[in-house]
Chain A
Amino acid sequence: MIELSGVTKRYRSGEEWLTVLDDIHLTVAAGEFVSIMGPSGSGKSTLMHILGCLDVPTSGSYRLFGRPIERLSAQELARVRNQEIGFVFQNFHLLPRMTAQKNVELPMMYAGVPRRERHRRALELLGQVGLADRAHHLPNELSGGQKQRVAIARALANRPALLLADEPTGALDSATGQEIIDLFLSLNADGMTVVLITHDPDVARRARRIVRIQDGRLVTGAGEEGRP
């Protein structure tokens, strides 16, 4: 599903070029649950942005579902983000002036799903993450764990094949973090491909496969040290 080969990302910082990702080779098959683990500044967020089609590599190639991403137009990339990828962020990134239900509806709105269908599906998804009774609450009326559940429901709205989570437990206490990871695990059990980025070894260990990243390089490549 995901094929990165020789992906390099450089930024210009004044006179110098800063290499953030250096010759990354990574393959993720459909149905996998992969943790990308590394300390802050290791380049894992940049990797996540490239995987999520929010950024493009300086060199190397990224194929998602067999398609070379660098050849897609801005419009096609927007469609990929909308239809095929679900994002979950550390700080939830819910729109503050919209209710939980409206937040979940947003990706469907961009996809052109009719209003009635949107309502129905948003309520169904909120039910799935255990928030059926919070549909009409604004984000600031929800706890951190509840916000992240709304964000996950939103990520699932257009039935993507790939879920990308960037430090999804970073802003949560450890018990709530566990619940969120459990939710990812159950989604993965139903066939969802999950790529989770974290700096927390306890969180990373719950994935089937851990990829370590340090100074922009993958350290253990396709290391298989996750849970069996």
Chain B
Amino acid sequence: MNLGEMLLSAWTAIRSNKLRSFLTMLGILIGVSAIITIVALGQGGQAAVIATIESPRLQNTIQILPKETLEPGLPQPDQILSFSDQDFQLARQFSGVEDVYYTLYGQATVASDGRVVNAELDAGPQYLNEIAHFTVVQGRMFTDADVLAHRRVVLLSPSLAEKLFTGAPRVGQTVQIGGQPLQVIGIAAPAQFNLLGSFLGTDYVYMPATTCRDLFPWWSISEMDVEVKPGIDKVDLGNRIVTALNIRVHDSNAFEESTRFYAGLEQTIGQVTRILTLVIGSIAGIALVVGGVGVMNIMLVSVTERTQEIGIRVSLGATQRVILLQFLIESVLITLIGGVLGVLLGVMGSLVLRAVTGLPTTVSGWAIAVSLVFSTFIGLVCGIYPANKAARLNPIDALRYE
């Protein structure tokens, strides 16, 4: 009797008792789908967090920060909180520097026609959209020229535009921020998923950094971003700029290059999500083990029920090996089918989760492979005892069994 025939025979046995077979594989199915979904969620979340910290542009960027923002504790009175124009001029003089920019971030009141809305203000260079993760869906982004000329132009997030203006068109309207009129040049949607965004709401205003400084001169520039030319060692350049800033300008060690800080942060986030995934995944793994016990239980019942069948098969010339394999294959087939259905359900679940909540889920082939191997393994482990019991039945007792 070859393997194909045994598979077919096991399949027939599984199909002839559809409801029971389904209920038996349900434990495995639920366990596997839970694992797939949880791992997808964990990996997707991790990738999203890292992408937020490390957008492509930021990878070529050195971020220089006042030391106190990197090292928690009470600020020292002599510490510098804000960069000055002099600092920026100094940094620009280094060769290998592509651009030096800064971003400003704060709360602002946006008013139009008597409506007043509190929003998050994000200001920066003309490529702010790549740093702050938003997409211009209508109108245009502000340009290099807008930044240089301190133009009073803003982009609003869709929800904010909705609150401020009743009808279309919204682009071209005027809003008041800090008592100054600004022209709405575009509508910009923040990236669908943003860890910070989910805490801070969805009302955003984007404008050139220069304009923002004009409106809120008292806001401190707490970060200097130095974009380096391709092929430049950014750590080395960052250290040289920091040293220059500390010694030549401020005569202190007020600033620090933040690459290390971000790398550490990224690692920590990766670690945290990995541990979380592992913990929740192990809980789902328990479901798999419980499912396996269910399979074993049903296989034992099945062996008892089919005692006479086993006797008949032995009388027709089935060897112990064939009987053992018959039940073992049946058990593995049940858990494997449960595993495959669980993978399908898990993939579907993570897609639904992504569609409904916007959480980025990444189903990994690795998780699928491990789930399938593990379900097969459970089928083997939980099938071996019942199968062995079947193979060792005394054929005469088995034939007499009613």
Contact between chains at B309 and A54 (CB < 8 Å): no
B259 on the interface (CB 8 Å rule)?
no
Measured as residues with beta carbon below 8 angstroms from the partner, the interface class of chain A is 20 to 34
* Chain B contacts with A in 294-348, Cβ cutoff 8 A: 308-309, 311-322
- Interchain pairs with CB closer than 8 A, number: 61
A35 on the interface (CB 8 Å rule)?
no
Q: Contact partner of A75 among B312, B319, B395, CB < 8 A?
A: B319
- With both beta carbons as reference points, the residue of chain A lying nearest to B12 in the complex is identified as A97
* Chain A contacts with B in 74-91, Cβ cutoff 8 A: 74-75, 78-79, 81-83, 87, 89
Q: Contact partner of A110 among B13, B318, B320, B395, CB < 8 A?
A: B318
Measured CA separation A21–B83 after assembly (Å)? 107
A228 on the interface (CB 8 Å rule)?
no
- With both beta carbons as reference points, the residue of chain A lying nearest to B321 in the complex is identified as A75
Measured CA separation A75–B60 after assembly (Å)? 72
Question: Given the complex, which residues of B lie within 8 Å of A158, measured CB to CB?
Answer: 317
Contact between chains at A81 and B396 (CB < 8 Å): no
Q: What distance in Å separates the Cβ of B309 from its nearest Cβ neighbour in chain A?
A: 6
- With both beta carbons as reference points, the residue of chain A lying nearest to B311 in the complex is identified as A93
Q: What distance in Å separates the Cβ of A200 from its nearest Cβ neighbour in chain B?
A: 20
Q: Point out which of B309, B316, B399 has the most chain A C-beta atoms below 10 A from its C-beta.
A: B316
Q: Point out which of B314, B317, B320 has the most chain A C-beta atoms below 10 A from its C-beta.
A: B317
Measured CA separation A126–B104 after assembly (Å)? 90
B166 on the interface (CB 8 Å rule)?
no
A30 on the interface (CB 8 Å rule)?
no
B5 on the interface (CB 8 Å rule)?
yes
Measured CA separation A3–B92 after assembly (Å)? 109
Measured as residues with beta carbon below 8 angstroms from the partner, the interface class of chain B is 20 to 34
Measured CA separation A87–B321 after assembly (Å)? 21
Contact between chains at B396 and A79 (CB < 8 Å): no
Contact between chains at A74 and B320 (CB < 8 Å): yes
Question: Given the complex, which residues of B lie within 8 Å of A97, measured CB to CB?
Answer: 12-13, 16
Contact between chains at B399 and A82 (CB < 8 Å): no
Contact between chains at A54 and B315 (CB < 8 Å): yes
- With both beta carbons as reference points, the residue of chain B lying nearest to A89 in the complex is identified as B399
Question: Given the complex, which residues of A lie within 8 Å of B318, measured CB to CB?
Answer: 78, 82, 110
Measured CA separation A37–B314 after assembly (Å)? 25
Measured CA separation A70–B318 after assembly (Å)? 19
Q: Contact partner of A93 among B1, B2, B312, B317, CB < 8 A?
A: B312
Contact between chains at B396 and A49 (CB < 8 Å): yes
* Chain A contacts with B in 105-157, Cβ cutoff 8 A: 106-107, 109-112, 115, 154
- With both beta carbons as reference points, the residue of chain B lying nearest to A54 in the complex is identified as B395
| 6 extra A-B contacts, CB within 8 A, seeds A52-B315, A54-B396, A83-B317 | A79-B317, A87-B315, A95-B309, A97-B12, A110-B317, A111-B317
Contacts from A to B (Cβ < 8 Å): 49, 52, 54-55, 74-75, 78-79, 81-83, 87, 89, 93-95, 97, 106-107, 109-112, 115, 154, 158
